[in-house]
Chains A and B, each alone.
Chain A
Amino acid sequence: EAGVVQSPRYKIIEKKQPVAFWCNPISGHNTLYWYRQNLGQGPELLIRYENEEAVDDSQLPKDRFSAERLKGVDSTLKIQPAELGDSAVYLCASSLPGANVLTFGAGSRLTVL
């Protein structure tokens, strides 16, 4: 069974450009998470979905970040416009409903120049 799939793995953009990351969770995992991991730190939650509903987006910088999970499966995280401080690894994870064991994807490494 495929794990959590993310793309692209790497992205280099100039500041003020837009960027989007895609995630396909494990089949049957209704809960999907986007985390951001800065260099030398642990992951920090950006947004959590239960099916297509965003149930926790309190740490998502809504002025430039947006996310969607229209059909309750795949999800997209967008940054527009990107800033230098957005350089990080963006991790997607999924879990069964009510579970706290998350399965992570390999991440999308963003470099903003």
Chain B
Amino acid sequence: GQQLNQSPQSMFIQEGEDVSMNCTSSSIFNTWLWYKQDPGEGPVLLIALYKAGELTSNGRLTAQFGITRKDSFLNISASIPSDVGIYFCAGPAGGTSYGKLTFGQGTILTVHP
């Protein structure tokens, strides 16, 4: 099936630093979603992207829908301790617009105060 590859697998940064992570696929996606999962909780949607080239911000978070439609990027500026968690990219499988979401394996973010 389709796979989403996230990079890096984990990051250890100091508070205040900026963070960049990405997600790539061998197939075209029509929608890219970025979720964050805190320990013991379900994933929570951060940003949704619907158009190639789209750049969307949510507070200190900025995500981009790659022009090739095979990748997406998430940036976090001026990280704080509560940014700790696992960040997942996701998209609807099979070239559809909705339904079965495929998730990446996640990027684990640790922020040192």
Contact, CB under 8 Å: B99 / A40: no
Chain B residue at minimum C-beta to C-beta distance from A89: B42
Contact, CB under 8 Å: B43 / A106: no
Chain A residue at minimum C-beta to C-beta distance from B108: A40
> Does A53 belong to the interface (CB within 8 Å)?
no
Chain B residues positioned under 8 Å from A44 (CB to CB): 103
Which residue of the partner chain, among B4, B98, B100, B105, contacts A98 with CB atoms under 8 Å? B98
Which residue of the partner chain, among B44, B90, B104, B105, contacts A40 with CB atoms under 8 Å? B105
Contact, CB under 8 Å: B45 / A101: yes
Known: A48-B100, A100-B31, A100-B99. A41 touches B105 (CB 8 A): yes
Chain A residues positioned under 8 Å from B98 (CB to CB): 95, 98-100
> Does B66 belong to the interface (CB within 8 Å)?
no
Contact, CB under 8 Å: B97 / A91: no
Q: How many A-B residue pairs have CB under 8 A?
A: 56
Contact, CB under 8 Å: A100 / B101: yes
Known: A42-B106, A100-B31. A56 touches B42 (CB 8 A): no
> Does A12 belong to the interface (CB within 8 Å)?
no
> Does B88 belong to the interface (CB within 8 Å)?
yes
Q: How many residues of A contact B (CB 8 A)?
A: 23
Among B35, B42, B44, the most chain A Cβ lie within 10 Å of the Cβ of B42
Known: A48-B99, A100-B92. A107 touches B42 (CB 8 A): yes
Q: Mark A9-47, 1 if CB is under 8 A from B, else 0.
A: 000000000000000000000000000000011111100
Q: Would you list 21 pairs from A and B whose C-beta atoms are within 8 A, ordered by A residue?
A: A4-B42, A40-B106, A42-B4, A42-B90, A42-B103, A42-B104, A44-B103, A45-B101, A56-B100, A91-B42, A91-B43, A98-B98, A100-B33, A100-B48, A100-B98, A100-B101, A104-B35, A104-B42, A106-B40, A106-B42, A109-B40
Q: Which positions in B face A, CB cutoff 8 Å?
A: 4, 31, 33, 35, 40-45, 48, 88, 90, 92, 97-101, 103-106
